[in-house]
Amino acid sequence: MNSITDLLDLEDTNIIISDIQIQGQTKTITLETPPTAHFCPSCGYRMHSRGVNRRTINHPILQDNYSLILILKQRRWRCTNPQCLYDISETFKFVNKQRRTTNASDMLIVEAYRNLLETSASIAKRFHVSDSHAHEVFDRYVKLDRLPLTDAISVDEVHLDMDDDCRYALVIQDFHTGDPIDLLRSRRTNVTEPYFVSIPPDERNHVKYLISDMYNPYISYVEKYFPNAVPVVDSFHVIQWITRSIDNYIRQLIKKFRQRDREYQERLSYEQQRPVSLPLSDEVYLLQKYRWLILANQSNIRYHSDPRMDSHFRVLMNTYDYEDALFRIDPNLRDYRDLKEKYIQFNSRNSVNPLQAKTEFEELIREFKKSQFEIFRDFASLLEKFEDPIINSFIMVEKIGNGKIYNARLSNGPIESINRKVKDLKRLGHGFRNFEHFRNRFLYATRSSPVLNGVTDYNPVTYYEDDEF
């Protein structure tokens, strides 16, 4: 095969290029087969040509600023045997009948959908096709089934809000590989129950760990569908619970100081008989801008001792100064922070030892129960309610990532990352309304080795914009 047909990624070995034209931003290449004798496949008689059909094919294989058009000269042949009259048109391997684009360009279009930053519009523009054509090509090839269940699966919801029946979609993930097993249009029982029941019992019995947050219906999946599994409550969601509770307390403080500032402003305005504008108070400023010092894990905070000029106070301050200022606003914030850190430190210390974790866990519950703060007494009740599922999160299993196999603690961290991709895809699509298309796009972009419909082994060639004829 000559270098030009190699460049064009054409499968046929018996074609020649008879003409090349460039007009404006369009390259047009004429292809045909060399004239050779044809014999009837039915009776063996000589066949004669009945003319040439010119077929126009879009082939944006070069991915440059030019639109690449192929003109295919397809001869029609008829058997000369009057008793046979077998009739046939030439075909080319690189393009299917009735298609206006080549197989190679279709595969490049499909491959482009692996990038979640690409929209149908951007892909269409790059390959010089219409939005609807790019969308149709993707739907033609990408129809993905669920993956088999493994012994460790994660479940979590993601807010889609496509329609009344698709508010919160359910993501199911293989913990070992991080690949999404499936995406269901809803977490409601009328969708999840028939789905899980339809999975063969032998496959469901293979599941040992079901990882989720503290949403009770997820916990109940173990009893309803996975009799050999244990529920696992992800540590992230436990820490998130107490962090949110403290954040709500801080928000109430902000609300209280804002109300105080409004009342003071109204009094001054009344006394001075004119509207008085007050600057942001110190308390509101600190609580709004630096409450992260209370909420963040202390191990993740990069404390700096070098003072920097603060635009509000107009003095030099460092991280420790901001922290002390917060504690002066409300001394309870120090206690809240320290109690939160106790659980975070417990969580990290016992990351590979479930038995030790259980002993220390029960001591923490007793300590939190005795706390003067209602938040931590409520937290103790939560820990007590989900004690076994939380302790199960300290179990270590094999995980695959970056080409390596390593031991990892059971967690919903990987599925949280997947959920962000779901949200990114929805935001990029400016409001998907076709759930099946959305599901296939998501699974195709996030699975490590998705299998295309009707395509078993295709590796698109990489082409460069400076390639020329």
Query: Tell me, what DSSP letter sits at residue 315?
Result: S
Higher pLDDT, 191 or 39: 191
Q: Would you state the pLDDT for residue 77?
A: 85
Partners of 441 in beta bridges: none
Task: Give the range among 35-49, 54-68, 231-245, 340-354 with minimum mean pLDDT.
Answer: 54-68
The pLDDT, as a whole number, for residue 5 is 58
CA geometry: angle 420, 421, 427, nearest 5 deg = 90
DSSP 93-155: TTS-TT-SB-HHHHHHHHHHTTSTT--HHHHHHHTT--HHHHHHHHHHH--PPPPPP-SEEEE
Average pLDDT, the chain: 85
pLDDT of residue 117: 84
SS3 329: helix
pLDDT tens-digit map of 258-281: 999 999 999 999 998 899 888 999
| pLDDT computed for residue 435 by the predictor | 87
How is the chain split into domains, by residue range? 3-102, 152-234+406-446, 236-392
Mean pLDDT for the stretch of residues 340-360: 84
pLDDT band at 455 (very low <50, low <70, confident <90, very high): very low
Query: How many residues are present in the chain?
Result: 469
- Confidence grade of residue 467 (pLDDT, cut at 50, 70, 90): very low
- Determine the pLDDT at residue 286: 97
Of all residues in the chain, the percent with pLDDT exceeding 90 is: 45
- Reported as a single tens digit per residue, the pLDDT across 41-54 is 888 888 888 888 78
Spatial neighbors of 345 by CB under 8 A, at least 6 apart, are: none
- Is 152-234+406-446 assigned to CATH 3.50.50.60? no
Per-residue pLDDT tens over the stretch 55-114: 877 776 655 667 777 888 888 888 988 888 888 887 777 776 666 777 777 888 888 999
The pTM assigned to this predicted structure is 0.76
Q: Is the pLDDT of residue 7 over 60?
A: no
Q: 35 vs 45, which has greater pLDDT?
A: 45
Rounded CA gap, 299 and 341, in Å?
Answer: 9
pLDDT at residue 172 in the model:
95
Query: What's the pLDDT tens digit per position in 285-331?
Result: 999 999 999 999 998 998 888 899 999 999 999 999 999 999 999 99
The pLDDT value recorded for residue 2 is: 52
pLDDT the model gives residue 456: 38
Asked whether the predicted pLDDT for residue 461 surpasses 60, the reply is no
